[in-house]
Structure 1
Amino acid sequence: MPIAPSDSDLCEIRRREGHLEAATAHGRRAVALDPGDAAGWYNLGVALYDRLEVEASIACERRAVRLRPDWPGPHFELAEGLLLSGRLEDGWREYEWRWRLPGVPPLVPPAILERSRQAAPRPWDGSPLSGGTLLLVADQGFGDTIQFARYVPMVAALCPNLAVACSPDMLPVIRSIPGGHRAFTAWEEAPPFDAYAALSSLPGLFGTTLRSIPAPVPYLRAEPERVERWKDRLDGLLPRGYRRVGLVWAGRPTHGNDRNRSLKLERLAPVFALEKTALVSLQKGPAQAEAACYYGAAPLVDLGPELESFADTMAVLTLLDHLVCVDTAVAHLAGAMGRPAAVLLPYAPDWRWLLGHGRTPWYPTVTLHRQPAPGRWDEAVRSAIAAVTGRALTASGRPARR
């Protein structure tokens, strides 16, 4: 006979299904029945995080860490709770446990370290490295790379001979950082190096707190020649004198939280009714097909098929008046470029957006529009429209007249 799942297992199963109340009920039952089971506390903590009961989540993960100090899962979930609640210094320390999570590859392939064995490359500790070469690895997703790219000039001031390993998609981003840093996309191109560090470890290495987040925005800029080409293209497509608003309504489907962070284009219907506004879709991936079914008063131009790289996206962002988007790489790109952006956030957001604020210290030109409850996008969309137009919406869903 099949073994029935435990309450701890059911906690995680129900959480993944989006049934958070049932998930927490199973989790509480699990830890009541067996207070010494680290897995029960861990799963309950994850479910509580999704309910935005962050302090309770942190307490559960701390309990799991005490029971199983070497288990990376609770450490990483603890990091997310600490970072979300603004306790960055403590959060960065726990964040380093991500390297021990199952399936996470080493930062630098062993063969590359072996090739540089004469230099005895070591993890960088943040100290000056004036005579050697430092390898920075853009180790996480597109948004993370864009967010932490702000640290590259700070690193270069300590280690002038700098090389950056990144994905081909991120190459235009790294190359747009002032300083002309060497970047490559294949390990075979890596130069000999003396030390190495993950881009996502830089906030911790620099001891970043809420008050010391480096925000020299803009720290990314589009190529002037590309901007000119896109200007000619948009001027020929869009009505003269209209407000230009970019749209991105979905992230990559493979993202672990995509079910909560992405939405359907039709959920942005109040944006479609804005007067004297032209909409510009920057959506890529499978959700791009939804633009073909658009029926709204505001004209919409779908640029998705024409955006060949982030270099194109950066150029188009330069030419828009505002961006309305979900939590995906384009939101980070707009923020890093100092462009106005209204970001729609799920009820339990990623840690970097903190709790309860309408602004973010990471990106001064970005406004945050949060779901008041899981799955409820309408209020967030109306709030984003108010940010775009400078006017709150009336009961009919239209911007109030001055």
Structure 2
Amino acid sequence: MLRRFGIVTIFLFSASCSESSEPISKRDSYDTPSVQVAESPANSTSQALVLSHEGRDISFELDTAIDPETVDAYIMGAAEYFSASHSSGGRYEIINVPLGNQILHIKANRSDGVAVGAVRDIFVSGAKGSHLGAVDLEPLGALQGRYKGLTSDETYIKFVGLDQGTYRLDDNGNFYILDLAPGDYRVQVVDGDYRHDTRLTVEPDTTVQLGTNNLNGSYWSSETETYTRYRLAVEKLAGSASYAAIAYLQLAIDNTWQDAFFISSSGYIGNHSVYVTSSAAAAGFDGWKAFSDTSFSTRWQSSSGLFSSEGDLAVDEAPYLEFSFFTAVALDGIRIVGSAGEDSEISPTSISIRGSHDGVNWFSVGPSTIEVDTDTGAQISL
């Protein structure tokens, strides 16, 4: 087996398999966490997200008339790499794929030199897995278009969840991307501090013209949905004299796209940690879990520049906490913990939350004001 550009290239006489998986689940109800934060103190070292290695095997077939010389097939956006291995005849297998909605990406080189491919939405379930049957592969397509309003000369396009690399735009915002497997993609255009997310469909053997899209102001979408199931509180950390400003927000994240959240604060909240919860008990969740640095990123940002997530921020810096993640696990709760430390208190703080499930439609809650009861440390829900 050869690994090329992050994709496994399988010759027809090879036989191998990938390892590891993480089941995916979702719950319909929200259980308010305990007032105590014993299992996830704000200043503790971030723990890796532990997931079960119990998945399902899936298989698919390619028409023998394709007569492929090589086949690259993998699950897009999975937390770990799941690639296909050739079994027998025209059948291919992918081992230990996480349960739930997944996206299968296939590209093959035919013996006549024509490259074909497909992107397919699949659902993985059952005691033993799924056989997808025959998957039709079609000639590769291309995307061509232009974005105006660029603010950076380092603007690029990336395909979220696809091991396809990034593509630079020219100085006028033009792009032309070849050799894409037909199907639906999520594309993110990154231009300095601006991010524009969209979904695109690549047609077989066709260059899709996207026309001109305006990047100005695309960091925040005009389409906003307000979530009512949220709680802002201040809690005393278990076994500590510290107080933590905590924001709870119920979410129904049942896809594998990247999600982004922005926590704004007008007051001092000090160090922070971010935790998630899921009802997917089989996925190793028994409470709130911290993301590891490799799968989760956080940063403070203000008008005066970027700040480290470690250390304290003064009130006049008006920071907001930005974090995003890419995961195949269905999450249904996010908790942001900011600790003032052992010898200080959290000042009255106004907190707002904005986020997006798909990078296009944004929700917002707040602003709400948090006051700290320094005598009792009791939580104050607003």
Alignment TM-score, normalising by the size of structure 2? 0.25
Q: Which has the higher strand share?
A: 2
Q: Which has the higher helix share?
A: 1
Alignment TM-score, normalising by the size of structure 1? 0.24
